[in-house]
Amino acid sequence: MTTGHRITVEPGGRHVRVVRDGRVLVLHETGCPARWYIPPEDVRLDLLTPSATHTYCPFKGTASYWSLPDAPDLVWSYPDPKPAVAQIKDHLCFYDTEVDGPRAGV
């Protein structure tokens, strides 16, 4: 990792509005807001369409994206994250501008 850049992953203690309750992980990264990673079984995946978008983070790996009809690339996930953040594997995260409350899912 780059000097001064830090990522921690810990169990979240907040309720996040999803289809049903589940384990939520909070990821803290230098220079970024806390991100809530939601298990896929707690997200209405039937409302999301896979996107062709992929991005690469040198600290987390390659992200895959999903969209709603009026919100492209709203959701992302790391199907094969770097070992240091393995806990976020396949969990979904939503952009801040598209959430309700602290963080929420579809």
b/e 25-44 (16+ beta carbons within 10 angstroms → b): bbbebeeeeebbbbbeebbe
pLDDT of residue 47: 86
Tokens in use for 39? 């298990």
Q: What is the dihedral of CA 17, 102, 71, 6, to 10 degrees?
A: -120
Q: Which residue has the higher pLDDT, 77 or 16?
A: 77
Beta strands 7-11 and 49-57: pairing type? unpaired
Query: What global pTM score does this model have?
Result: 0.74
Which domains does the chain carry? 7-98 (2.170.150.40)
User: Under a CB-based contact definition with an 8 Å cutoff, are residues 21 and 43 in contact?
Assistant: no
Give tens-digit pLDDT for 44-92: 898 899 999 999 999 999 999 998 888 899 899 999 999 999 999 999 9
